[in-house]
Amino acid sequence: MNQQIMCTVNSCAYWGQGNICEAPKILVTSDAIGDAYPESMDANEVTQLVQQAGLTPATTCMETCCKTFTRKKQ
Ligand code: SF4
């Protein structure tokens, strides 16, 4: 699948010109998971994450986050 992820979070290390995410893959999950798990838990660990925490249905977009966000070095 050739997918483009548009993003406005320009303080992220993966953010690129044209507001395009340049990460090879990202993990979108619930805010609760984003809070509870360390930075090291990311897209490559999604199977482990689902085994541990289960799936994370949301009701609104405000309940989801990009777990791949990595603060750009200043
Ligand atoms: S990793 Fe997430 S926050 Fe960072 S540019 Fe991509 S979509 Fe945006």
Determine what percent of the chain is predicted with pLDDT higher than 70. Answer: 100
Q: What is the pLDDT of residues 11-20, one digit of tens each?
A: 999 999 999 9
| Whole-number Å distance between alpha carbons of 14 and 34 | 17
| Confidence at 2, pLDDT banded by 50, 70, 90 | confident
**Average confidence score pLDDT of the chain:** 97
Give the pLDDT mean for 22-32.
Answer: 97
Question: Is position 3 within any domain?
Answer: no
| Overall number of domains in the chain | 1
pLDDT at 73 > cutoff 90? yes
pTM for this one?
A: 0.94
Q: Ligand 1 center to residue 9 CA distance, Å?
A: 7
Query: How many degrees, rounded to 5, is the angle at CA 49 between CA 45 and CA 53?
Result: 175
The atom of ligand 1 lying closest to the CA of 15 is: 5
Ligand 1 contacts CB of residue 7 (under 6 A): yes
| Whole-number Å distance between alpha carbons of 67 and 37 | 9
Closest CA to 23 of 9, 34, 37: 9
| C-alpha to C-alpha distances, 39 to 4, 18, 67, nearest whole angstrom | 23, 26, 8
Q: Ligand 1 center to residue 18 CA distance, Å?
A: 13
Question: Is position 74 within any domain?
Answer: no
Range of the structural domain that residue 20 is part of: 15-66
Question: Is position 33 within any domain?
Answer: yes
Question: Is position 30 within any domain?
Answer: yes
